Amino acid sequence: MSAAELEARLRAIGAERYHDRHPFHALLHGGRLDRGQVQAWALNRYEYQRCIPLKDAALLARIEDPQLRRVWRQRIVDHDGDGPDEGGIARWLRLTDALGLDRELVESGRALLPATRFAAQAYIRFVRERSLLEAIASSLTELFAPTIIGQRVAGMLANYDFVSKQALAYFDSRLHQAPQDANFALDYVLRHARTREQQEAVCAALRFKCDVLWSMLDALHFAYVEPRLPPPGAFLPQACSPESDA
């Protein structure tokens, strides 16, 4: 494939498989979830946010080109910050705080859905074990992030009186970080995926990452929407204090 053909193929994968198409997001953005269901989403999504700098650190350790390392390490800074209470993870915790979740419960991970934990760890393993090209390609879901961020912020502010603009501050920075990161990764992939085998591999990597995000929403929908069967040990709305061992 030419570079233009490969890019078109990658964008088609996102159009078909990105998790903005999942029914759970339609409920979340449309104001059709109750507070407990929104809490469950934020608590489980924290695990994914927590693992992003871990997967980027795993990728960084494999990069021998200093210039590429200098660019990629900014992703870790974006999420971890340069100090306490800075960065994307800290902003996500302020969202869970605003939703009334106990911070120790959120950070401990003990109330996660098993599928959330498995999916996040699968992403780290993928980045650690696959080729550098595939690892970088797996980040290309960021190409499609600005659309879903806009829908999420507008929908949640319009529909939930328990959510404020300050609580959603995490998404403000991602509106410019995600496109910048995605454009860099896309350029890298288009320049380095030269053979048909490499091109198929990067397409498969993007499909895998879409599956990671989709599977987490599948688990949320099953546990908290229909048929509402949270597994043992998972977060239970109305029972979210540390003492309840949710």
Structure tokens at 220: 């949320």
User: Residue 138: pLDDT above 70?
Assistant: yes
Query: SS3 helix, strand, coil % of the chain, rounded to 5?
Result: 75, 0, 25
Q: Mean pLDDT in the chain?
A: 94
pTM of the entire predicted model: 0.93
> Strand runs (DSSP E) across the chain, as ranges?
none
Summarised one tens digit per residue, pLDDT across range 163-211 is: 999 999 999 888 888 889 999 999 999 999 999 999 999 999 999 999 9
Structure confidence at residue 246 as a pLDDT band (50, 70, 90): very low
Number of neighbours of residue 203 by Cβ within 10 angstroms:
21
- The C-alpha angle with vertex 245 and arms to 33 and 222, in degrees rounded to 5, equals 35
Number of neighbours of residue 205 by Cβ within 10 angstroms:
26
User: Residue 136: pLDDT above 70?
Assistant: yes
- The C-alpha angle with vertex 122 and arms to 117 and 125, in degrees rounded to 5, equals 130
Between CA 92 and CA 75 the distance in angstroms is 16
